[in-house]
Chains A and B, each alone.
Chain A
Amino acid sequence: MKRAWPHLWLLLGVLIFATPIYITLIGSTHDASTIGRGDVPLLPGSHAVENYTAAWVSGGSGRFAVSPASRMLLNSTIMALCIAVGKIAISLLSAYAVVFFRFPGRMIAFWTIFMTLMLPVEVRIIPTYQVIVSMDLFNSMAGLTIPLIASATATLLFRQFFLTIPDEYVEAAKMDGAGPMRFFRDILLPLSVTNIAALFVILFIYGWNQYLWPLLVVNDRSLETIVVGMAKMIGTGDAQNEWNVIMAMAVLSLLPPVAVVLLMQRWFLKGLTETEK
């Protein structure tokens, strides 16, 4: 009996988290009118194939049609990958510089990076927009990703990790004759693998979920991302929303982040829990 309570709580948690996903999944297998009537079906319907085909190939019909999911998934994946990889690359290097080198203005550099934490994308969105437009990056993948790459969080995390690396490794590497880039590549990077994997998962999902910035900086249909696309499909007026296609789109949009988490899970957990270096 004692062990029943924790299980009950866990079950409740699972229900709370899983129910919306279940409803979405079921909704994507019915036709538009079933959901349009306000029903919330709990058993799968028979329209799965046509809904997913519609989402994948055409992106809906009528007023709120967007690019096909195939296109938008690709755009989102490229954007999330660029953001995650870009952030990791830039953070690794800047944390490396700040931790392992003594140069004039080192602390100023660090605090400047640190202070950008207080300025998330939404706060600086208008000046950023201005900069991107005047750099002629409007409606481009570069414009979509570069402003999101500059990141203090990842730099800080890497800095904290680098600070735990014993000086003796640095000194041993000096004795071995490894120069700064060699030390970075041969010793620091392999030691950071689990941290990089954990950050990659977090940053990929961060990039995937971007909404406001892609909405602003891209109006070319061919660059539309799935999060923005889905929101655009939901009309605000009297028109009937194609909920069946929207839900199919939502399910599709879940797949890449889930794949990333599943693939990286092993390293991700290691990166979060492992203390032994």
Chain B
Amino acid sequence: MASLEVTGLTKSFGPTHVLHGIDLAVEDGEMIVIVGASGCGKSTLLRIVAGLETATSGSIRIAGREVTALEPAERDIAMVFQNYALYPHMTVEQNMAYGLKIRGLPKAEIARRVAEAAGLLGIEALLTRRPRQLSGGQRQRVAMGRAIVREPKLFLFDEPLSNLDAKLRVQMRAEIRRLQRRLGVTSLFVTHDQTEAMTLGDRLVVMHAGHAAQIATPMEIWARPADTYVAGFIGSPAMNFLSGTLVEGGHAVALKAGPVLRFADGPRAGGAGRPLTIGIRPEHMDLAEGGIPMPLDLVEPLGSETVLHGKLPSGEALVVKLAGPAPDAPSLPVAFPAAALHVFDGETGKRLDP
């Protein structure tokens, strides 16, 4: 049984449609990361699941129970906010205990749960402090603690790492993942950071303009992106896109940039001349004798690797990532390994498989 089931969820603010029918089933104990650029509707989706916004249509079930019309507090969920939202006038302990107190749990039980969560997060020494006396990372832990003590069916994270500095973010990311695994609580995590998404999620939901563009495991999304948006969003530097047309009975593409590339994995449907978009990741590009000459306009040495920016004769920009240093030359010949090509429809941007 799915632990969270979202069916046909839509949301409009007046005439503006923010979500266009989201379907999502989250398994028990799974960590799902919702990732997308700002304005794609990812936060709205999370807030609807939390009950802070109402859905225009569609339904939400948590652990098999219909919660669409319920108040946030009745949904058996806990949320970690972007700015943590710790009550400034309460101590850490009171912050963590507040929800339980309202629920009318016995004092001893509250104390037990708070002590347990504090131990888990290593914040026992902070229990009597107030939020303003804490550092960003400590506040983050307290916010997590407040969620944990509730022992909810579902954790919701609303970009909780975006206010931390880079180093702490990496550290907290690993910590959240370990904790979530250990507690085995189903989680929904919203972020705009693809690295966060790739490292945290069992599966990702890539949101684009109110649609779930793709829902799959991080590696699946990286290896087989469903459309050009997902392909360009996940991966750094972003995937290169080149336009071309289908030739040779669907077995190859004639790039606008010149060469005709044969598909390694079989023919694509469609008549000759069908417009295509070919995607290839910068790290899959090769330098090879006899390739297309690419004049370089920027070389970024990163130590273990080098990123080259250039323009093809067709005017299309291309990024190549090489392991190790690049040869010192104003122009380098580049080749496209057939196995690394991603084929997308030139008009809709959808992935085309053999």
Contact = CB atoms under 8 A, between A and B. Distances in A.
A266 interface: no
Contacts of A190: 89
B85 interface: yes
Contacts of A277: 88
A177 B81 contact: no
A153 B83 CA distance: 31
B105 to A, nearest CB: 11
A171 B52 contact: yes
A151 B83 CA distance: 35
A174 B52 CA distance: 8
B295 to A, nearest CB: 51
Given A172-B81, A174-B52, A186 B98 contact: yes
Interface stretch (B72-80, B172-180, B240-248, B311-319): B72-80
B166 interface: no
B85 A171 contact: yes
Contacts of A171: 50, 52, 72, 79, 81, 85
Nearest to A276: B132
Contacts, number: 55
Given A168-B81, A176-B73, A177-B103, A191 B88 contact: yes
A93 interface: no
A276 B87 CA distance: 13
A174 B98 contact: no
Interface in A118-172: 166, 168-169, 171-172
Interface residues of A, number: 17
A187 B87 contact: yes
Contact of A176 (B52, B74, B102): B102
Contacts of A174: 51-52, 71-73
B99 interface: yes
Interface residues of B, number: 24
B57 interface: no
Interface string B203-241: 000000000000000000000000000000000000000
Interface in A170-186: 171-172, 174-178, 182, 186
B44 interface: no
Nearest to A186: B98
B85 A169 contact: yes
B82 interface: yes
Residue from A186, A190, A191 having most chain B Cβ neighbours under 10 A: A186
Contacts of B72: 171, 174-175, 177
A169 B88 CA distance: 10
A172 B87 contact: yes
A191 B131 CA distance: 13
A176 B98 contact: yes
Interface in B108-156: 132
Contact of B73 (A166, A169, A175, A187): A175
A182 B73 CA distance: 13
A63 to B, nearest CB: 57
Contacts of A169: 85, 87
Contact of B50 (A175, A177, A178, A276): A175
A162 to B, nearest CB: 15
A149 B221 CA distance: 64
Nearest to A277: B88
A177 B146 CA distance: 13
A175 B82 contact: no
B78 A175 contact: yes
Most buried by B among A176, A178, A182, A190: A176
B152 to A, nearest CB: 10
A182 B99 CA distance: 11
A187 B132 CA distance: 16
Given A177-B73, A177-B102, A172 B89 contact: no
A277 B132 CA distance: 9
Contacts of B83: 166, 168
Interface string B87-109: 11100000000110011000000
Nearest to B102: A177
Nearest to A171: B52
Contacts of A176: 73, 98-99, 102
A180 B75 CA distance: 18
A191 B132 CA distance: 13
A182 B102 contact: yes
A169 B71 CA distance: 16
A267 B203 CA distance: 52
Given A190-B89, A277-B88, A178 B78 contact: no
A274 to B, nearest CB: 12
B234 to A, nearest CB: 29
Contacts of A186: 98
Interface string B290-323: 0000000000000000000000000000000000
Given A177-B99, A177-B102, A172 B85 contact: yes
Contacts of A187: 87, 89
Interface of B: 50-52, 71-74, 77-79, 81-89, 98-99, 102-103, 132
23 contacts: A168-B85, A171-B50, A171-B52, A171-B79, A171-B85, A172-B81, A172-B85, A175-B72, A175-B73, A175-B79, A175-B99, A176-B73, A176-B98, A176-B99, A177-B71, A177-B74, A177-B102, A177-B103, A178-B98, A178-B102, A182-B102, A187-B87, A187-B89
Given A166-B83, A174-B71, A175-B72, 17 more contacts: A168-B82, A169-B87, A172-B79, A172-B85, A174-B52, A175-B50, A175-B73, A176-B73, A177-B102, A177-B103, A178-B73, A178-B98, A182-B102, A187-B89, A190-B89, A276-B132, A277-B88
Pairs of residues from A and B, 3 with the lowest C-beta to C-beta distance, nearest first: A177-B73, A168-B85, A176-B99
